[in-house]
Amino acid sequence: MRFTTALLLLAGISLSTTAVIAYSNPKNGETRVDRRAFLSRATAMTTAAALPLRAGADDVSDFVTTESGLKYLVVKEGTGAIPSGGQTVKTDYTGWLDDFNSEKKFDSSRDRGRPFTFKVGTGQVIRGWDESFSTMKIGERRKIIVPPNLGYGDRGAGGIIPGGATLYFDVELLGIL
């Protein structure tokens, strides 16, 4: 995905550069386009080239939306048991602000190489996690989108997650302990 992003950004810069060269070096007999029209066209070309950068990030049409507003997409089906309330689960996760492809990763058990454990349904984690993990099977991996009311609300967390933030997680249920 990052390669695609870089390639599309490069294409946008290339189109803009071509437009600048065309504006500053008109060919024989051609008249220059007025500055306002040139800037308008250059901006439109750059914007059009950049649009695909976010198109996939905001596409949640394949996600399931629960009554609470939690959105999830099963990326890998699980085959094991579903945890009951109060059971301790072992998980791996990565969390981002903005979207799943964001540079704003705020935490990851995968990066630390240390799975995270908690008791499902007891309020040890944000409500969106309790809800998601209470319906997952061992081995299942999901992308979840946690709205602010199921995350950290208006208060945010630790100076890293701003108030009112929607959170994006890639989570996996590794086991029930």
The yes-or-no answer on residue 111 being catalytic is: no
Burial class (CB in 10 A: 0-12, 13-18, 19+), 86: exposed
The yes-or-no answer on residue 160 being catalytic is: no
CB 146 within 8 A of CB 152: no
Nearest 10 degrees: Cα torsion 21, 24, 30, 31: 140
Tokens of 105: 């990763």
Longest distance between any two alpha carbons in the chain, whole Å: 79
Catalytic residue among 38, 63, 100, 106: 106
The yes-or-no answer on residue 145 being catalytic is: no
Q: Give the type of residue at 165.
A: A
The yes-or-no answer on residue 169 being catalytic is: yes
The yes-or-no answer on residue 107 being catalytic is: yes
Catalytic residue among 92, 107, 130, 170: 107
Catalytic residue among 133, 152, 161, 170: 152
Catalytic residue among 72, 116, 168, 169: 169
Catalytic residue among 93, 116, 133, 168: 93
Catalytic residue among 126, 144, 145, 161: 126
**DSSP letter assigned to residue 24:** H
CB 164 within 8 A of CB 154: yes
The yes-or-no answer on residue 152 being catalytic is: yes
Active site residues: 93, 106-107, 126, 152, 169
